[in-house]
Amino acid sequence: MRPWPGTPYPLGATYDGVGTNFALFSEVAERVELCLFDDEGKEERYALEEVDGFVHHGYLLNVGPGRRYGFRVHGPYDPKRGLRCNPNKLLIDPYAKAVSHGVKWDESLFGYKFDNPDERNDDDSAGRVPYSLVANPFFDWGNDRQPKRPYNETVIYEAHVKGMTVNHPFVPEPLQGTYAGLAHPAVMEHLQKLGVTAVELLPVHQFVTDHGLAEKGLTNYWGYNTIGYFAPHDAYAAMPGEGGQVQEFKGMVKAFHEAGIEVILDVVYNHTAEGNHLGPTLSMRGIDNEAYYRLVEGEPEYYMDYTGTGNSLNVRNPHTLQLIMDSLRYWVTEMHVDGFRFDLASALAREFYDVDRLSTFFDLVQQDPIVSQVKLIAEPWDVGPGGYQVGNFPPLWTEWNGQFRDTVRDFWRGEPSTLGEFASRITGSSDLYQDDGRRPFASINFVTAHDGFTLRDLVSYNEKHNEANGEDGRDGADDNRSWNCGVEGETDDPEVQGLRVRQQRNMLATLMLSQGIPMILHGDEFGRTQQGNNNVYCQDSELSWMDWELAKDNADLVKFTGGLGAFRHRHPVFRRRRFFQGGPVGKGEKLGDIAWFTPAGEEMTEQNWDDGFGKAVVVFLNGKAIPDLDQRGMKVEDDSFLLAFNAHYEDIDAQLPGNGYGQAWTVVVDTATGEVEPADAKPIEGGGQFTLPARSLIVLQRTETEPE
């Protein structure tokens, strides 16, 4: 059977109900063969003779969903010139919408083993490299609608597909650790109780466990080692049949949307699983190495590495940019996801050497009518020179605010002289985002994330304990800004245990009541521990999975977190769309939108901000001075609140501000007791005395309608 000419676009394998069009870009290829495989692995090869704009294409009748395929690219092989074509290697389609299995490691995958590919004609990589799969594009979305939750109303929950459900007691065993398991009603109910509006999933693009980890018996658990930018990772699928992961993923997204929860994907467009010059040839390296990867100028045998993983995608090449943009659009239009978090996003801005906020990638995103309308979150750093770019991304973007994380950790562990920066971080980091026209929700606030300690470990360990990773403690961050509360690791000491729980509540409350978008790490709401390991990227085990028994043991912490989520959603003063101005905000206004006080009830002075003690502060938030309109064009108003922070190790005798700020106040959040809106709280008179307990945050709500 000879392929029909087909079309050069769309790239990849596209099934139309009758047959499948295949299209592959390669500027260096002299000839491209499409390889089809049956269930026994028997191979049929078809030359794609039509070439338009360096896209090799053809159409085959009666080839449909589930069919295994790959490509063989004939062309120059000269690594010292950056050319690595080798027809003895079966290659994954960069546009494959489903992939059959993981890599089965073998020497035939590594080009450096054999300088002359012609010597390997008797041994290729078919079966060791995953098969690409023709995917079924048809799915009954019913009345699915993307929630399109406004940024300022968003609460993000960072989760791992497998780790979230592999031990869940109410998820049926066949569904544990899968997309279908994540869509289980028990999981949805838990997230809704926390007030979560979006899940941010660690990588679900098809990824590979590195050869080095496989040799150690470890796994690339996090998934930051992508080999397929269109394919949902096959190992997370419960549905039988090759290609079923596409349908299952869509079903998961549909279930989240029915629950009013958005789905954000953590995506890795900065590098691939093919690694450095000693890495395996799996896909793009053998298709068009120069087009897809940044090569070292003058030494094209080697790869530029801004990611610490061996290579960096060549975002200067239009075909590579097309791959990224086509992938993003596909996940929005066909898979209905609601946004993306870009891993090491600074690497995508390196058109030449330095990070360039006006790079072509950002221009393409800005003008794209589909991608520009979903949530875009940058991890604003990479490992290259000048890669730390917090606050420097374009206006369309939000950013993981690493400065929020560091400052909040320092404040609650009692570091001196953090008060001024702490005040800036909890009010939306205007110093980072206001100058270029962005809003407080440009800041994705987090205290913990997948990379680093869990919240419980943050208050239980001074040092990382990564022995299980087999790298003699060389891996993982050393600057954790953690405090073990007096004892390293687990302890039976009730005083230490109580302090640790309070510290967890302090950081959760600070996170949920700060301006910006809060992001909770999965399991922090019930004290998940990794036993001090701050880099579980290779630990697909009980060490990294969620232990749902802890949700019972620490039910009070779950309730407290959920209470904070509900409290935040009820009160728009904690999720403003505009930065504070500091002074009176309207004609006739007596009070400003925000004011800062010492624990003695006196307004803060420059000397107070510079005080080396710097462990306590009170902030007034004026709910009558929110410069926002609701969907009906009505002015947004709320009650007014005082937030009293005390990171000192002793109680402080405090005084509420007078001068018209409020006649009476009621405690609505107390991290010392773990209560949110307690029923028996008694009002305190304005200007009255109260005790601010050691290492605690107290939130007071003004109880009268108007101040005097």
Q: How many CA atoms lie within 13 A of 50 on its CB side?
A: 14
State the Cα–Cα distance between residues 345 and 468, nearest whole angstrom. Answer: 29
Cα separations (Å) of 568 from 33, 365, 369, 564, 578? 57, 31, 32, 6, 16
Report CA Rg, the chain.
27
Q: Which of 343, 457, 525, 593 is catalytic?
A: 343
Structure tokens at 511: 């996170």
Structure tokens at 688: 């009255």
Residue 224 three-state SS = coil
Active site residue 610: no
Active site residue 451: no
Query: Do 401 and 516 meet the contact criterion of CB atoms below 8 Å apart?
Result: yes
- Single out the residue of 14, 272, 280, 238 nearest to residue 133, CA to CA: 14
Q: Which of 379, 382, 457, 675 is catalytic?
A: 379
Within 8 A by CB and 6+ apart from 136, the residues are: 15, 64, 65, 66, 243, 246, 247
Strand order in the sheet with 31-37: 43-47, 31-37, 68-74, 132-133
**Which DSSP string corresponds to 263-318?**
EEEEE--S--TT-STTSB--SHHHHHHHHHBPEETTEEEEE--SSSSS--B-TTSH
- Positive or negative, the CA dihedral 290, 296, 299, 303 is negative
State the Cα–Cα distance between residues 125 and 530, nearest whole angstrom. Answer: 38
How many other C-beta atoms lie within 10 A of the C-beta of residue 292? 22
State the Cα–Cα distance between residues 186 and 365, nearest whole angstrom. Answer: 36
Residue 48 three-state SS = coil
Q: Which residues are catalytic?
A: 343, 379
